[in-house]
């Protein structure tokens, strides 16, 4: 376990209502996962591998039970699986970044009380705090000569206040001043209402001193920061257009001279150009992007161009998947790239000329809460690949690979999970009843399922639906799925049409058409699990979050086959959603093509609120009170509509939580606890009695 994690006894957090099921469900094993086990879990992220491929520095993330937060400190592990702490674990330490000569490790730490840049001299073990910043730094990047660090930081602007009040007596206690807002983009989920200011790029001497701001203007600069091979210029992405808030995806690449601040635009198309990376030989820039066509999805392609700009070309024009992240090979002859395919994440080597080949699979394990794909990787100069390893029964570990098979270097959760009976995850392939479209799904079978099946036991089923809607689930560890299965439920999750990792056509099937036939895909998924046997058809349940919450509300408005439902952080009314969500310019342009008042019929046709009159299923709603992506007003209007309809309903509000409810461990516990409580309350008496 992490150095911070001591022998403190875990206690279940108090809840406003008892989350004890009305019918005690017999556990098929004594050591199943419990809600409080959330605080025992860890996962790896933030990889940086040494040039020789022998050692990986990484962030060891853990759950701080005293402060109810995810924390992390920096460790290293060598090819012999020997792990050593690099930082003491008393603070949040992250973004480990080795200097070019590997003598120093830069990282960000809250040791001083706020996020600051620190450097550790690896030979002596000495550590120094290098900055006294007023905002949190990010995107650390060493210059090739090792003399400077570049980073991004938010720089506050002057708040607008056209009206000032006079006449306030000395010592008087007046109300807080009014807040004046006239920006198009003025709030963001997880950040709340945005202060005046923008993200800017800075450079800092590796010997400390005062950081120097390179970029200027009322635009956000940053993302991946890449240095030229001579350490004299930096390439980055930014949206510096006058209408940047209306075109939120229109980033371009820029090159800035470190000494003079002179800036050169390298790309100018409509669409996102980002993640720039200059080749080790200094001749080419690789980057990611696509042409914006205002659809719900486009494949992100990998491009290269001359280091000074000019004509670019895609290395993946016929590759029907989105490229995730990229790393140059040390000889500058190609790039390593990650991508999702059919719910799993891979790393492939893409040469500048020639065919790509897969060099690692089973990448992922970072989502932690739900089984989303996606992971991290890094590449040594000798071609050794380090990546976060995905195991359906464990959160992310560290693996390295040079050749055909990976070597798993860490076992971060053996102390927490090795003695637990964990659900078995198996794939399920089926065809949609709507048009025979192939659909992929996975089923989590609770501990003891096979034995129970032989004895004729019938199990309740939960359909759990992913968000996005353009996203994907896969065979990855999921705390929520595991906790549901631990309570005796069979849990199925699928990638219905509209999910990514199956190609552009599959994802665009729901363009301007969501929800729609994805409903049929999900119902076919339930039918396919039932066809396997051992499912109690009188105890079917459905839940999902975000886009999955929207689909859950859509489902109960179109069928009565489910015993109960939990709708988490949903969109209920597309008209009101577009006018209250944080990224509203993107949502109306890319998801509908017209403003709500220009296409009211289209908006309402796809809104679950339009079908609330059909709902009879007991339906609970659950949303964070600080959610700016799918605001809680969406939840409130559905709750009140269900009340007016006389449908059994309840509303669970998570105080202080944004769209990512599980950002605080206890909130993840509350979410799953309430879902299971609601389902247990509505299980049929006969089956529940059989499971006592």
State the Cα torsion 419-424-425-429 to the nearest 10°: 170
pTM beyond 0.85: the answer is yes
What is the reported pLDDT for 685? Answer: 63
What distance in Å separates the CA atoms of residue 549 and residue 464, rounded to the nearest whole number?
Answer: 9
Q: What confidence tens digit (pLDDT) does each residue in 361-417 have?
A: 999 999 889 999 999 999 999 999 999 999 999 999 999 999 889 999 999 999 999
What distance in Å separates the CA atoms of residue 372 and residue 365, rounded to the nearest whole number?
Answer: 8
Residues whose CB falls within 8 Å of the CB of residue 73, separated by 6 or more in sequence, listed in order: 2, 3, 4, 59, 60, 85, 86, 87, 88, 89, 90, 91, 92, 93
What is the reported pLDDT for 11? Answer: 27
Strand locations in 243-329 (E):
252-257, 263-265, 273-278, 284-289, 301-306, 312-314, 323-328
> Among residues 623, 648, 620, which one has the least CA distance to residue 633?
623
Q: How many CB atoms lie within 10 A of CB 554?
A: 26
Please list the ranges in the chain whose pLDDT falls under 50. 1-29, 686-692
Q: How many CB atoms lie within 10 A of CB 558?
A: 16
Please tell me whether residue 601 adopts helix, strand or coil conformation.
Answer: helix
Q: Any idea which residue has 């050591």 for tokens?
A: 31
β-partners of residue 253 are 237
Backbone angles phi, psi at 298, to 5 degrees: -140, 150
What is the reported pLDDT for 686? Answer: 42
Contact between residue 227 and residue 240 where contact means Cβ atoms under 8 Å apart: no
What is the reported pLDDT for 5? Answer: 32
Burial 672-689 (b: 16+ CB within 10 A, else e): bbbbbbbbbbbbeeebbe
What distance in Å separates the CA atoms of residue 649 and residue 659, rounded to the nearest whole number?
Answer: 21
Contact between residue 361 and residue 348 where contact means Cβ atoms under 8 Å apart: no
> Among residues 608, 604, 677, which one has the least CA distance to residue 638?
608
What is the reported pLDDT for 160? Answer: 85
What distance in Å separates the CA atoms of residue 547 and residue 555, rounded to the nearest whole number?
Answer: 12
What distance in Å separates the CA atoms of residue 347 and residue 342, rounded to the nearest whole number?
Answer: 14
Rounded to the nearest 10 degrees, the angle between the axes of helix 665-682 and helix 479-486 is 40
- Pairing mode, strands 197-205 and 212-213: antiparallel
Residues whose CB falls within 8 Å of the CB of residue 613, separated by 6 or more in sequence, listed in order: 645
């Amino acid at each position: 376990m992490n150095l911070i994690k001591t022998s403190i006894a875990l206690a279940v957090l108090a809840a406003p209502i008892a989350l004890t099921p009305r019918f005690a469900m017999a556990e098929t094993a004594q050591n199943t996962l419990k809600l409080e086990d959330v605080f025992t879990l860890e996962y790896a992220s933030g990889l940086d591998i040494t040039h020789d491929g022998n050692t990986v520095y990484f962030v060891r993330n853990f759950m701080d039970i005293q402060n109810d937060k995810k924390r992390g400190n920096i460790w290293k592990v060598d090819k012999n699986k020997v792990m050593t702490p690099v930082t003491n674990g008393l603070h949040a330490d992250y973004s480990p970044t080795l200097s070019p000569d590997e003598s120093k490790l830069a990282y960000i730490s809250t040791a001083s009380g706020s996020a600051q840049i620190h450097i550790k001299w690896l030979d002596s073990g000495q550590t120094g705090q290098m900055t006294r910043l007023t905002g949190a730094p990010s995107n650390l990047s060493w210059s090739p000569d090792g003399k400077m660090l570049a980073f991004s930081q938010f720089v506050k602007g002057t708040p607008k206040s056209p009206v000032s009040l006079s006449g306030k007596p000395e010592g008087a206690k007046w109300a807080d001043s009014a807040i004046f807002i006239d920006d198009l983009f003025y709030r963001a989920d997880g950040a709340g209402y945005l202060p005046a200011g923008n993200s800017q790029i800075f450079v800092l001497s590796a010997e400390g001193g005062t950081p120097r701001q390179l970029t200027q203007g009322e635009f956000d600069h940053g993302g991946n920061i890449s240095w030229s091979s001579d350490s004299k210029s930096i390439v980055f992405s930014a949206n510096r257009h006058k209408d940047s808030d209306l075109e939120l995806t229109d980033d371009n690449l820029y090159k800035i001279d470190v000494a003079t601040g002179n800036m050169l635009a390298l790309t100018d198309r409509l669409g996102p150009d980002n993640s720039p990376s200059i080749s080790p030989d200094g001749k080419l820039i690789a980057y990611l992007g696509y042409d914006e066509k205002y659809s719900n999805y486009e494949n992100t392609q990998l491009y290269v161009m001359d280091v000074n700009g000019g004509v670019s070309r895609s290395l993946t024009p016929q590759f029907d998947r989105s490229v995730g992240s990229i790393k140059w090979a040390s000889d500058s002859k190609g790039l390593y790239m990650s991508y999702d395919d059919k719910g799993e994440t891979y790393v492939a080597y893409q040469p500048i000329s020639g065919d790509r080949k897969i060099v690692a699979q089973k990448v992922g394990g970072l989502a932690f809460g739900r089984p989303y794909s996606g992971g991290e990787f890094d590449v040594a100069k000798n071609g050794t690949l380090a990546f976060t390893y995905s195991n359906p029964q464990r959160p992310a570990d560290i693996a390295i690979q040079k050749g055909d098979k990976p070597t798993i270097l860490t076992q971060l959760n053996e102390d927490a999970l090795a003695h637990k009976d964990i659900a078995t995850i198996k794939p399920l392939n089926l065809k949609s009843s709507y048009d025979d479209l192939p659909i992929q799904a996975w089923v989590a079978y609770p501990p003891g399922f096979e034995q129970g099946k032989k004895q004729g036991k019938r199990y309740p089923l939960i359909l759990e639906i992913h968000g996005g809607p353009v996203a994907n689930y896969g065979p990855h560890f999921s705390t929520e799925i595991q906790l549901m299965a631990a309570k005796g439920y069979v849990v199925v999750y699928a990638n219905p049409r509209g999910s990514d990792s199956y190609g552009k056509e599959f994802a665009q099937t729901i363009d301007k058409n969501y929800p729609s036939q994805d409903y049929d895909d999900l119902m076919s998924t339930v039918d396919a699990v039932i066809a396997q046997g051992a499912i109690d058809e009188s105890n079917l349940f459905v839940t999902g979050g975000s886009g999955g919450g929207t689909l859950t509300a859509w489902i109960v408005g179109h069928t009565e086959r489910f015993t109960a439902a939990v709708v988490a952080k949903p969109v209920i009314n597309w008209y009101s959603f577009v006018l209250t969500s944080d990224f509203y310019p993107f949502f109306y342009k890319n998801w509908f093509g017209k403003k709500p008042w220009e296409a009211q019929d289209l908006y309402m046709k796809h809104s679950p609120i339009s079908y609330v009159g059909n709902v009879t299923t007991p339906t609970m709603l659950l949303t964070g009170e600080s959610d700016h992506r799918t605001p809680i007003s969406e939840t409130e209007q559905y709750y009140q509509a269900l009340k007016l309809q006389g449908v059994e309903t309840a509303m669970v509000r998570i105080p202080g939580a944004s769209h990512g409810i599980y950002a605080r461990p206890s909130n993840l516990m509350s979410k799953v606890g309430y879902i299971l409580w609601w389902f247990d309350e509505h299980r049929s008496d006969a089956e529940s009695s059989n499971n006592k």
